Amino acid sequence: MYPRLEIDIQKIRHNAKLLVDKCKKENIQIAAVTKVYCAFPEIVEAIKDTGIKYIADSRIQNLKKLKHINLPKILLRIPMMSEVEELVRYVDISLNSEIDVIRKIDQEAKKINKVQKIALMVDLGDLREGYFNEEELFDCIEQVLKLENIKLVGVGTNLTCYGAIIPSKENTQKLVDIAKKIEKRYKIDIDFISAGNSSSLHLIDKNQMPQGVSNLRLGEAIALGRETAYGDKIEGAYQDAFKLICEIVELKEKPSVPIGEIGMDAFGNKPVYEDRGIRKRAIIGIGKQDINISAITPIDTKIDILGASSDHLILDVTESDINYKVGDKVEFNLEYGALMSAATSEYVYKVFKG
């Protein structure tokens, strides 16, 4: 069945192992982030014994699905007040930045006789989640330490997400310094110092990862073999564990400029066309309703993507060395946004290999 997302589980497993080894040298443990592939249990099963120490996801729904996997679960997204009751059942460590939510976690944890672990998020400049003001952070900690069913185990930060700020030795060191300050001031152990995501890996290569960082939360690096500060490939990792395969439904020679008055396309944009004469065009059975079309690349590099509507993607196959026919398959590599949407889409079939 097509379109399909073909998933090579062994390649993902290889990437996870490679990253575990890379981080081990710096005494950093990995939380494998599973959200981009909707925490498919087939993939998580394949990576669970590679040495990763945690499973992390933004959605409790996904973590719930992985209840049978014997690794501690981290909830990545700041929890909603309304999901706290679920949280205490399915999450081992949550990342938090609001005392009211933490109080609610304390209440719900008490009801089921649990001590719930939390890490506090610190905003080092990316301006997404976390305490920006250090005094506010310390105020929060003082209140947290009074809560009987909450255990503060760490601090975390997230960079390169909203503000696209690149992790540096300096901003990462700040997180370690804050952790040390907390330990000294309150005489508690802060063992979980979670410095970032796939955009922090470049610090290891440059020998600039501050001592004391104990955790990284890696999603894209494991799934797509890329670090995300500069978008570079990770040496020795696979970038093609995921492949999108679609079927040609029409193949015809047509002019490259539509005939008639140009109005608006299906999405309200007024398109511009370059006249390249008669071209061989293939329509494949995938569209904007199925996945995010802007982040896919044909593996046949001689194919150009001309455009897409809700259900059809039009390709120029004139230059290709392959003599495509109706019913043939065309394969694509996926970037993060395309993988996320393909994994999530109910219109894309998932096929696991290896």
**At closest approach, how far in Å is the CB of 65 from ligand PLP?**
17
CB of 38 to ligand PLP, least distance (A): 13
Task: Quote the least distance from Cβ 354 to ligand PLP, whole Å.
Answer: 22
**Residue with smallest beta-carbon separation from ligand PLP:** 219
Euclidean distance between CA atoms 42 and 352, whole angstroms: 8
CB closer to ligand PLP out of 55 and 245:
55
Active site residue 169: no
C-beta of 197 vs 292, nearer to ligand PLP: 197
Catalytic residue among 35, 48, 117, 243: 35
- Which residues lie near ligand PLP (CB under 6 A)? 33, 35, 58, 76, 158, 197-198, 217-221, 228
Least distance between ligand PLP and beta carbon 70 (Å): 22
Distance of closest approach, residue 132 Cβ to ligand PLP, in angstroms:
16
Query: CB-wise, 286 or 340, nearer to ligand PLP?
Result: 340
Active site residues: 35
